[in-house]
Structure 1
Amino acid sequence: MPEHGIHTIDTGYVRPGFDAAYLVVGDGGRAAFVDCGTCHSVPAMLQALDAAGLAPEQVDWLVVTPVHLDHAGGAGALLERLPGARLVAHPRAAPHLVDPARLVASAVAVYGQEAFDRHYGQVQPVPAERVVVAHDGHVVELAGRPLRCIDTPGHARHHLCVWDARSRAWFTGDTFGLSYRELDSEQGAFILPTSSPVQFEPEPLQASIARMLEAAPEAMYLTHYGRVTGVRRLAAELHEQIDAMVSLAQACDGRPDRHEALVAALSDYYLERARAHGCALEEAAVLELLGMDIELNAQGLEVWLDRARRHARHG
C-alpha cells in the first residue's frame, strides 16, 4: 500500500524516474492528482487510477504546481477523461492553461517543433469554467483531506506548493529542487536547486524554502523525482547551493564565454558535491544524468543576471 494514500506516478517524460505526478486519495475514494506530465502521460495517469481501484469519475481535482509543460502540459487532455474534476492553479498560471498559445510558442522557440512534438505533443486548452484560481492559502477540499496551496516564487512566479497535513508533506513541484534516485547514497537523497529560465529569483526561492520548513514537514514530494525525507538537511543544502550558484554566475558574468564558463563551473560544483555525498555513479554518468539540468540552470542564472543588470540601469 502506498504511504498515506499517495501514489507516485512516473509520467514517462524524457526517461524513467525523471518526472513524477501524484495521486492523492481522500476519504470515500475521492481523489486528486498533483501535476500530470504532458499529453503523452495521460495513459500513465489513468493506469495509476485503475491500479488504485479508482474510476475517472472519482477524481475531483487536478492541482498543478507551475504551469511548465512537464508539470501541466497534459492538463487539458487529462481533464477530458476526468468528467467531474476541476483544475487548481496559481493566479499567474491559470490564464496560460485556458489559452496555452504563448506557452506553446515559447517552448517551440526553445526546443524546435520536432522536439516539442516528441516531448509534449498537443497542449489542449482547459475550459475556463473548470479552472479554480488558488491564491496564497487557498484550501482544496478533498473529501476530509484538505490540501493547502501557498504561493512559492523563486523557481517561477506562477508556482504554488501544496501542503497535505495527513502525510505532513509538501508537494513541491520544482521549488524544493531536484533529487534523482540514481544519486542517492548512504547519506540519503542528493539534492540540487533548479534555476531554469526564465523567472529564477534567488531571494524569493530562499524564502519559499524557509516558509515550507515552518510546517515541520516529514517528507517532500518532488516532481523530479519522488518522495524524499531528511528535509532539514536537504533544505540547508539547497540554501547553501543557491548562494554558491549565484556566486558562480557573478564570477562568470562579463566573460565573452560566459555561458560555457558557467556550465563548466556548475558541472565542477555538482561533481564535487556528488563525490562528497558518496554517490556511486562515475563522474561521467553524473554529468550525463545532470546534463540537461546544468544547461538549464546556467541559462536561468544568465537570465537572472541580465534582468538584474537591466533593473539597475533603469532603476
Structure 2
Amino acid sequence: MNLPTHTTDLGHGIFAIDTGFERENFDAAYLIVDTGRAAFIDTGHNAAVPRLLEALDAIGLPREAVDWVIPTHVHLDHAGGAGLLMRHLPGARALIHPRGARHLIDPTALVEGARAVYGVEVVRQTYGTIEPIEAARVVESHDGQRIPLGSRELLLIDTPGHARHHHCIWDERSRGWFTGDTFGISYREFDGADGAWIFPSTTPVQFEPEALRSSVQRMMAMQPQCLYPTHFGRVDGVERLAAQFLATLDRFEADGLALLAHLPDDAPARLAALKEQVAATLVASALAAGCPVSPARAHELLALDIELNAQGMAVWLSRIGRTP
C-alpha cells in the first residue's frame, strides 16, 4: 500500500490523515477500514477533503464503501468539511450528536458563532463556504449507541465538558477512544522520553469543568490502551495522560474561581489574567513532563490554545458569576 505522505497507518485498520489545518501535525481526521467498509471520524475543514479522498483511493476503497462520517462535535476544525465530504460519498450517512445535527444541516448559526470568536475574514479564509448536509442523510447519535462497521462495532457515548454537542467513539478492536477534544490536546512536538504530553481544551463557549472531568473518568473506566485525539494522532500511556489532564484541569478551575472572587465585576481584566495563567500553567506542565522544548518554543506552539482556552474559561466564569 503506497500511502500519501499525510496519511499514517496506525494499525487495526485505522489511518490518521493530517488535514493540514493551521500547520502540519495539528489536526487529524481518522479513517477506519474493516472488511471492505469504512468510516471517517472528524473531517477537518473543506481544504482537507482532497486529502481524505486521496487516502481512501490509496487504500483501494471505492467511495461507495464509506458507511459513516462521524464528527466528534461540530466545531469547524472537526466538522467544517463534513458537508463537502458527504457530496463525494454517495452511500455514507453522517452520525452527529443530537445537539449538533441541526447545525450541520443548516450551518448558518455555526458560521456566525465562529465569526464571533475568530472574525469574519479569518473564517472566510480558513473555512470557506460550509456546505450543508442533507437532513435525510443525518443520523443523530445517542448515548450507548452501537453501530456496525464491517466485522467490528463502534460504541458512541455522550461526552460533554468541552462542548455539549460532543460524543466520543470507542473501538474495541484497538481498545482506543476517538476523543475529539474531550480528552484534550497532545501535539507531537512535545513528545519526550516518557511519551506524550496532554492538556485540556477549554475553548469557547461551552466549557464545563465538572462535566469534562466526568467524561474523562467515564472513558477511563473502559481501561483504554490508547487515545486518538483530533489534535493530534494516536497516543499511549493513557493512565499517565489522564492524571496529567485532570491535574491541569483542576488547576485551571481553581485559578479561574480565584480570579472570579478577586475580580467579580471586571471581565476584561479577568480575560487578560486568564491568558497569563493559562500560559504559565501549560508551559510549566510541559516542562515538568520532560517535553523537549524551550519555554519560548512552548509559548509559540501553544499560542492559539492559550488564547482560546482563556476565552473559553472567561465565558465559563461569566456564566457562573451570573448564577444566583
TM-score band (shorter)?
A: over 0.9
Shift of 1:251: 2.4
What corresponds to 1:40 in structure 2? 47
SS in 2 for 1:62: strand
1:19 aligns with 2:27: yes
Say which of 219, 222, 232 aligns to 1:225.
232
C-alpha separation in 1, matches of 2:250 and 2:115:
32
SS in 1 for 2:131: coil
Deviations along 1:33-86, one digit per CA (max 9) or x if unpaired, are 001011111101101111212121111110110110000011110000001000
What corresponds to 2:285 in structure 1? 273
What corresponds to 2:87 in structure 1? 80
What corresponds to 2:130 in structure 1? 123
| Count of matched residue pairs | 311
Shift of 1:2: 3.5
C-alpha separation in 2, matches of 1:216 and 1:72:
28
Shift of 1:15: 0.6
What corresponds to 1:288 in structure 2? 300
Unaligned segments of structure 1, at least 5 residues? none
What corresponds to 1:6 in structure 2? 14
Matches within 5 A, 1:110-259: 110-253=117-260, 254-255=262-263, 256=266, 257-259=269-271
| One-letter amino acid of the counterpart of residue 302, structure 2 | L
Shift of 1:110: 2.3
- Is 1:248–1:266's contact at 8 Å kept on the other side of the alignment? no
| One-letter amino acid of the counterpart of residue 270, structure 1 | L
What corresponds to 1:305 in structure 2? 317
What corresponds to 2:59 in structure 1? 52
Unaligned segments of structure 2, at least 5 residues? 1-8
Shift of 1:7: 0.2
C-alpha separation in 2, matches of 1:52 and 1:277:
37
TM-score (norm 1): 0.96
Shift of 1:6: 0.3
Shift of 1:252: 2.4
| One-letter amino acid of the counterpart of residue 167, structure 2 | L
| One-letter amino acid of the counterpart of residue 19, structure 1 | D
Shift of 1:113: 2.3
Deviations along 1:124-170, one digit per CA (max 9) or x if unpaired, are 10000000111101112111111111000000001000001111101
| One-letter amino acid of the counterpart of residue 226, structure 2 | A
SS in 2 for 1:32: strand
What corresponds to 1:99 in structure 2? 106
- Is 2:156–2:170's contact at 8 Å kept on the other side of the alignment? yes
- Is 1:189–1:228's contact at 8 Å kept on the other side of the alignment? yes
- Is 2:10–2:234's contact at 8 Å kept on the other side of the alignment? no
C-alpha separation in 1, matches of 2:145 and 2:100:
15
C-alpha separation in 1, matches of 2:317 and 2:119:
25
SS in 2 for 1:228: coil
Q: Which deviates more from structure 2 when the two are superposed, residues 35-44 or residues 256-265?
A: 256-265
SS in 2 for 1:141: strand
What corresponds to 2:276 in structure 1? 264
Query: Percent of aligned positions with the same letter in both sequences?
Result: 53
Deviations along 1:72-106, one digit per CA (max 9) or x if unpaired, are 01111000000100000111011111011000111
- Is 1:67–1:96's contact at 8 Å kept on the other side of the alignment? yes
Shift of 1:174: 0.3
| One-letter amino acid of the counterpart of residue 23, structure 2 | R
C-alpha separation in 1, matches of 2:320 and 2:119:
28
SS in 2 for 1:212: helix
C-alpha separation in 1, matches of 2:166 and 2:290:
32
C-alpha separation in 1, matches of 2:82 and 2:287:
39
